[in-house]
Structure 1
Amino acid sequence: MNFFEHQAAARRGSGRLVLLFALAVGGIVLAVDLATLVFTGSIGATVFATVLTLAVIGLGSLYRIASLRGGGAVVAAQMGGTWVPEDTRDPSLRRLRNVVEEIAIASGVPVPKLFVMENEAGINAFAAGYSPSDAAVAVTRGALDRLNRDELQGVIAHEFSHVLNGDMRLNIRLMGVLFGILMLSLIGQRILIYGRLGRSRDGTPVLIAALVAVVVGAIGVFFGRMIKAGVSRQREYLADASAVQFTRQTRGLAGALKKIGGLPAGSKLQDKADAEEVSHMLFGSGTALAGMFATHPPLVDRIRRLEPSFDARQLQELEARWRMSPPDGLAEDIALGLAAHDAGAGGPPPLPPAGAQVVITPPMVVSQVATPAEDDYLRAHDLVEQLGPELRGLARQREAVMPLLVGLLLDADAAVAVRQRSEVAARCGEALAQRAFELRRQHLESLHPSLRLPLASLAFPVLRQRPRPELDTFLDTIDAMVHTDGRVSVFEYCLSRLLQVQVREALDPSRHTRFGRNKATGVRAEFATLLAVVAEAGHPGAPMQAQRAYLAGLQRVLPRDHLPYAPPAEGVQALDAVWEPLDRLAPPAKEMLVEALVHAVSSDQKVSVAEAELLRTVCAVLHCPLPALLERA
């Protein structure tokens, strides 16, 4: 399956989740009603019990959903995760951050927040959040200590599959919904454990009610585990396959699974309650549940899919070897020559000239959406190295990140840039405006087009740490910059829009969780506007070529419609009205939209680096992330 098929499957999974939840609620209500009839024999009491049960389940789910409104970082913190700063110098944390940054850039998504569960010796990880802009990735201390770089890369690539394919959004919804059907059991347990009423005769009815709640609540526990197992198990196989496709080798992921099987701590988490709640999100099984309740396929089966000749007896041999001398991930890196990767030894190969042409085709680009493969990961490492230590350092500095992003968006036209500076100074202060101009002159004027989005990706995690009032002011400033006059380039506009989208989603993650359902025929005008702007941007001063590009794209999505080529008078600013309707397209319609954009960009068989970057930016705004470089090695 490609990205769009995964998205469609995740949307269907949301529908199945609602159905299963309704069945679970029905089973619990029926059990409560039967128990009430047996003990009271009253129809009125039974009706009251039905209403009370529905209220408990509904309020429980609403409470948990509200508590998760903060997104992935909230889940990671609740699991005991400690945030990993961008400028960390700890070797194991620096290695983790390098791996995550490179995978994020290769995938075309913002770098997620990173957390380490310091008190967990088992090897495990999870990704949580409503969207890639809000994602958090957490790993256990056991994973950092025991896995070498290849193995850690395989685990992180597995988690990024969940980020990209919509699994993460489904998983966090599952946490909120299932909490409600577990409420009766939780209430009964608390009364039995902490209640003192049972010591007197007056407390006997309450004690009986608590016992009934625990017994009936077992139905909720049963359904909850069944739902998680049904949602999670097959997706783990898919995520393993995606990780292998991404990293181009099986030894890393297989090695991590073998260490889970061969080490005493395995993948188990110490806090059983937390492990139970997030079991469907974890890389490895966090609980002892097996059989029909297991959220993960059997470990040996997962390894055999990666290494068909694997014998389960090998785990016993590894267990005996590691009992005497547990593996050390950083030491293995040195022995395997992987430590040089994080040190940047050897230097990256040169980037193609900014005016170079690349060859792309619509099917090729569609297959790359949120599906990095082949050399994308290695290229991402090279792109990060090409930025140089100074720019990378600026992107990770709290005080430098805003001037850096403003500098990226300053217009090449000096007159426009001066007007933009006035807008920045009026809203954010003269000091920030001056710093942005300095960074533009020192580092950004000569920056290769292929490095602008990677640099923004590195800067984004630091930016979203700023207080919300500062971010709101900054977004207003960005908006004012790109609307200074009508001569803003399409790329500058799209980059600013992408920044706005990502920050807004990070500020209010639960408000931006949705799967699109619109059809292409319902957004004809919006699609024509986007296509006309992209075609004109790719063929400046050549209206006939731009028209041919426009018609080539139009035929892919709306072959029966006759929408004339009419570049909007307001230019790029006309795109303000198209993003939301187009972003709400159903996955198959979005797939056709991406193909149409590629047809338009490549209609003359010449795709410049700048045009490819424009395509990547437009697709990112529409939540169809593309790898850092579109041409295949």
Structure 2
Amino acid sequence: MNLFERQEAVRRRSRRLFMLFALAVLGIVAAVNLVVWLSLAYIGAASFATIGQVMAMTTIGTLLLIGGASFYRTMTLRKGGGAVAMALGGTPVPVDTHDPGLRRLLNVVEEMAIASGSALPQVFVLEDEPRINAFAAGFGGPDAAIAVTRGALDRLNRQELQGVVAHEIGHILNADIRLNLRLVGLLFGITMLGVVGRFLVSTRNRDGKREAGGLIPLGLALMALGAIGLWFARLIKAGISRQREYLADASALQYTRDPEGLVGAFLKIAGVPGQGRMLAPEAEEISHMLFEDGLGFSGWMATHPPLLDRIRAIRPGFKPEKFNEALSRQQLAAPSGLDEDHAKAMVEPPPLPPEATSIRVSPGAVAEGLGGWRPDDVQRAQAVIAAIPGVLDRAARDREEAMPLLFGLLFSAEPTVQKKQRFELKARMGERMTGQSADYAERVHGLHAALRLPLAMLALATLKRRSKTDVAAVADVCTALSHADGRITLLEYGLAQLLHAELQASADPATAWRQPRVKLADVEADVVQLLAVLAHAGHAQPAEAQRAFMAGMPHVLPQSSARYAPPAQGVAVLDDAWPRLDALLPKAKLMLVEALVATAAHDGRMTIPEAELLRIVCAILHAPLPAALEPVRAA
């Protein structure tokens, strides 16, 4: 199952969620009406007409309460994953932290994100949670957040933390996190009767005494009815999320090729008193989002499979005796993850390959590998992070320096083009910012091609912590710099387009998700233009560009009679095409990615710079390519 098929499966589950929600609402309405009917019968209501009117009003009132509560909660979640993490007491991890535990967590998240080709998620620590757990939240890559508990940070070693983070990034790439947020919003409505009931029971008068009269009996009745809603909510969460956890475990195993990391994390959870249970009262609401069950339920109500079952799923030969040993260690001193790391010899990552290294690729294999990664990709990500010069790494993590660094990455190496870009930036941001950006441009133009996009993503993660006004201004500047001159390269233009899209989605997280609804026949002209621009960018000779174009077309539009023509308007011809191409149906987008790979490597090979250009184009289309694409071999 490829990335788009996994995302489509989540969308089908989303439709199933609405059906289950509707059934739950009908069940609650029926229960409320039954209570009202029994009450009316007890007090001797005069006529069926009176009973019918009261029950009709009750039905309308119940539906309005449930619908209004669900709508309200859904709107409060539009702020994205970071807001969810902070609502649970999460503390943002500073990108320039020097704390060893936090630095290790950031490094693991950065490695996993770079390895998968996805955007860097925000990172949080739940300081008040002593047990081992984690979750991912958000609408999509640009606003995604990963939060780990203090217990996980202290007790897991790097290998185990890597398994947990890979599991959560699997949820992000598979689009589980948006489904999970929808679940939170909808289920809040069907538990609202209980909330109202508790409010009525606890209502006090001016003297601080509980109100007498009908409020307490009514509140108790609503609490009983709310218990029905809570039962439905837990049942729906269990039915929706349990299989997703198995899939995320399998994804983490596929990504790391290391079952010991996940198994070690599960055994440590089993060896902690209370296991993964959360202390925050909001744990009930987000239990289906957690790495491990945060409430301690079992059977039908459990949102997660049993730990032993999850271990056996990824390591079939596992002996139950080892799990029992973990349980027996609950009374022993908690392990220290950092101490375990210090006892292990850390392997240095291999150096980055020369830019001229030829990568052998096949369009089908690359397309099938979208949204996943292998140990080779993790090693490449580690090599990328190690190769970034210290001064640029510090700048990317500095709140003030990240902005000019980002603009410097967008400056063209062509003096005439850069002059126009400087003029544009000076008019928008002033002379000081223009000078700083030009200084960084000199530093980054000699960088290895594989470092530019990861460095931009690091700076972007820092900028996302600024105000929405600042984020919107940076997004506009990115667009302006990419249109300052018609001779801008596809690499510079594509990087600016990607940064603009990421910043916009960060400022308004609820817009980060596009429902696929466009067929290839509807965007044939856009596809032809994209392949023509890519072929033109990679080949100076028109004949070579034409061969590259013709190599890509059969993968996406085999019946088309379109012919290669150099883009007369330059790369700006794609401005209006991106949203339509991004909304392609899953199978169509997979075909488009295959065509892009075939165009970029029409002879079956591509250099590192060509691979990075392809990575940027695919990232704009939300088709993340893994860091190494395929095993690298020298030409």
TM superposition score category, shorter chain reference? over 0.9
Listed as ranges, the matches of 1:131-530 within 5 Å are: 131-195=140-204, 203-271=212-280, 273-321=281-329, 323-337=331-345, 340=346, 346=348, 348-441=349-442, 443-530=443-530
> CA deviation digits over 1:454-491, x for unaligned, max 9?
11121111011222222222222221111112100001
Q: Deviations over 1:393-417 (max 9, x none)?
A: 1110111111111111111111111
Question: For the residues of structure 1 that align with 2:414 and 2:130, how far apart are their CA atoms?
Answer: 56
Question: Is there any run of 5+ residues in structure 1 with no aligned partner, and where?
Answer: none
CA separation in 2, counterparts of 1:146 and 1:350? 31
Q: What is the alpha-carbon distance in structure 1 between the residues aligned to residue 604 and residue 237 of structure 2? A: 48
Match of 2:614 in 1: 615
Distance 1:202 1:326, change over 3 A: closer
| Cα distance in 1, alignment partners of residues 464 and 211 from structure 2 | 55
CA separation in 2, counterparts of 1:172 and 1:514?
Answer: 15
Cα shift at 1:240? 0.7
User: Residue 148 of structure 2 aligns to a residue in which SS?
Assistant: strand
User: For the residues of structure 2 that align with 1:113 and 1:2, how far apart are their CA atoms?
Assistant: 25
Corresponding residue of 2:131: 122
Alignment deviations for residues 108-141 of structure 1 (CA, whole Å, 9 cap, x no partner) = 1221111111111110000000011101110000
Q: Per-residue displacement from partner, 1:240-272 (whole Å, max 9, x unpaired)?
A: 11111111111111000001111214111012x
Contact in 1 for aligned 2:200/2:218 (Cα 8 Å): no
Q: Whole-Å Cα distance in 1 between the matches of residues 111 and 585 of structure 2?
A: 29
- Residue 200 of structure 1 and its aligned partner are, at CA, apart by 11
Which amino acid is 2:518 matched to?
N
Q: In structure 1, what is the Cα distance between the partners aligned to 2:94 and 2:317?
A: 41
Conservation of the 8 A alpha-carbon contact between 1:450 and 1:629: no
1:23-54 deviation line (CA, Å, top 9, x unaligned): 11111112222222222352111111111111
CA distance in 1, matches of 2:611, 2:352: 14
User: In the superposition, relative to structure 1, how do residues 195 and 260 fare at CA in structure 2: closer, same or farther (>3 Å)?
Assistant: same
Aligned: 1:87 with 2:86? no
2:48 aligned partner: none
Q: Which residue of 2 aligns with 1:548?
A: 547
Q: 1:383 to 1:201 in 2, by over 3 A?
A: closer
8 Å CA contact 1:144–1:329 kept in 2: the answer is yes
Measured in 1, the distance between the counterparts of 2:136 and 2:565 equals 44
Match of 1:71 in 2: 80
Output the CA distance in 1 between the equivalents of 2:211 and 2:464. Answer: 55
Q: Deviations over 1:273-306 (max 9, x none)?
A: 3111111000011002110011000111111223
**1:585 equivalenced with 2:584 (yes/no):** yes
Task: Go from structure 1 to structure 2 and tell me whether the alpha carbon gap of 1:358 and 1:321 turns closer, same or farther (over 3 Å shift).
Answer: same
Q: Distance in 2 between matches of 1:138 and 1:102?
A: 16
Moved over 4 A (4+): 199-203
Instruction: Tell me if structure 2 keeps the 8 A contact 1:37–1:43.
Output: no
Q: CA deviation at 1:321?
A: 4.1
Determine the C-alpha separation between the residues in 2 that align with 1:317 and 1:47: 59
> Residue 10 in 1 paired to residue 13 in 2?
no
Letter in structure 1 aligned against 2:237: K
User: Matched residues in 1 for 2:8 and 2:448: separation?
Assistant: 36
Q: Is the 8 A contact 1:376 1:628 kept in 2?
A: yes
CA positional deviation for 1:190 = 2.0
Aligned counterparts of 1:195 and 1:21: Cα–Cα separation in 2: 34
- Sequence identity percentage: 48
Provide the TM-score with structure 1 as the length reference: 0.95
- Secondary structure of the residue that 2:97 maps to in structure 1? coil
| Distance of aligned partners of 1:122 and 1:560 in 2 relative to their CA distance in 1, 3 Å threshold | same
Aligned residues between the structures: 622
RMSD: 1.8
Per the TM alignment, residue 92 of structure 1 is displaced from its structure 2 partner at its CA by 0.6
Q: 371-380 vs 29-38, which deviates more?
A: 29-38
Deviation at 1:195, TM superposition (A): 5.0
Looking at structure 2, the residues matched to 568 and 307 of structure 1 have their Cα atoms a distance apart, in angstroms, of 53
Q: Report the CA distance between 1:196 and its aligned residue.
A: 5.8
